[in-house]
Amino acid sequence: MSLRDQAVLGTGVSLDELEHLWSLLQEPVRGPTSVSEGSNISNSDNRTTTDDSSAAEVERKRKRMISNRESARRSRWRKKKHFEDLTDEMHRLCMANHELGEQLGLTVHRCSEMQKENQRLHSERASLYAMLSNLHQISIGSRARNQIIYPD
């Protein structure tokens, strides 16, 4: 790659655009075609005005092109930043989801343990109720016997 190509790459102007601008600068300025002096001044002024407006238009286009490239660069940067932000959020949400899954697993395990404990306590309550009922029946029978044996 030539030095000229490398210089062009750093400016954001294509090689074709640069060659076109160079050819505009290389064109000779044409002299007046009219014989009269007044028309010479007028033609020269028109050509200068045309050359100035052409150069101004070329400069305006060049600035616009540079502005568009800078705008596109900023747009790509914003898109990349947005993608990175979304990727970071996805990773954060995946980690949060994993933690919630672990918490859910622990909660389900605790719930299962509580249900087993609840069943054990119900069974124990039923057993104790049966024992208490038997003791009550024994107590009633004992009182009845005591009243028969030892009436008041």
pLDDT in tens, 105-144: 999 999 999 999 999 999 999 999 999 999 999 888 887 7
Q: Compute the radius of gyration of the chain from its Cα atoms.
A: 50
Q: For 91-123, give the secondary structure using H, E and C.
A: HHHHHHHHHHHHHHHHHHHHHHHHHHHHHHHHH
Distance of CA 147 to the CA centre of its chain: 89
User: Which of the two residues, 22 and 105, has the higher pLDDT score?
Assistant: 105
Q: Decide: 118 and 124 in contact? Cβ < 8 Å.
A: no
Q: Give the mean pLDDT of the chain.
A: 81
Residue-level length of the chain: 152
Does 147 have pLDDT greater than 90?
no
Distance in angstroms (rounded) separating the CA atoms of residues 41 and 47: 10
Q: Which residues of 22-42 are buried (b: 16+ CB within 10 A; e: fewer)?
A: eeeeeeeeeeeeeeeeeeeee
How far CA 98 is from CA of 58, 85, 101, in Å, comes to: 59, 20, 5
- Strand, helix or coil at 146? helix
pLDDT of residue 87 exceeding 60: yes
**Which residue, chain included where needed, has tokens 């990175």?**
84
Whether 30 shows a pLDDT value over 70: the answer reads: no
For position 36, what pLDDT does the model report?
47
d(CA 114, CA 106): 12
